[in-house]
């Protein structure tokens, strides 16, 4: 019996640096990036040290790679 594994390239999204300090740990390592959770896609700003969420806003319905015209209405 032969087993074959199909692999594809990993999705890589840039994390945009944000000015400010984390209110939990005081670190200045804040980054903005899209995340997917049980409620859909969100654009978040998180501390990269303690992972505290600074800001969370609803993102595009189909994620960061696809934008629908209806998302801008």
pLDDT of residue 45: 98
pLDDT of residue 71: 65
Residue ranges per structural domain of the chain: 16-62
How far is residue 12 CA from its own chain's centroid? 10
Residue 57's φ and ψ, nearest 5 degrees, are -125, 150
Q: What is the mean pLDDT of each run of 10 residues along the chain (73 residues)?
A: 73 88 97 92 96 93 75 67
End-to-end CA distance of the chain: 54
Name the nearest CA neighbour of 36 among 62, 8, 73, 10: 62
8 Å CB contact between 45 and 24: no
pTM, full prediction:
0.72
């Amino acid at each position: 019996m032969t087993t074959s594994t199909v692999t594809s390239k990993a999705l890589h999204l840039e994390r945009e640096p944000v000015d400010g300090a984390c209110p939990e740990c005081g670190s200045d390592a804040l980054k903005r990036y899209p995340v997917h959770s049980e409620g859909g896609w969100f654009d978040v700003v998180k501390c990269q040290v303690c992972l505290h969420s600074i800001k969370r806003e609803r993102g595009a319905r189909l994620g960061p790679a696809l934008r629908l015209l209806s998302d801008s209405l």
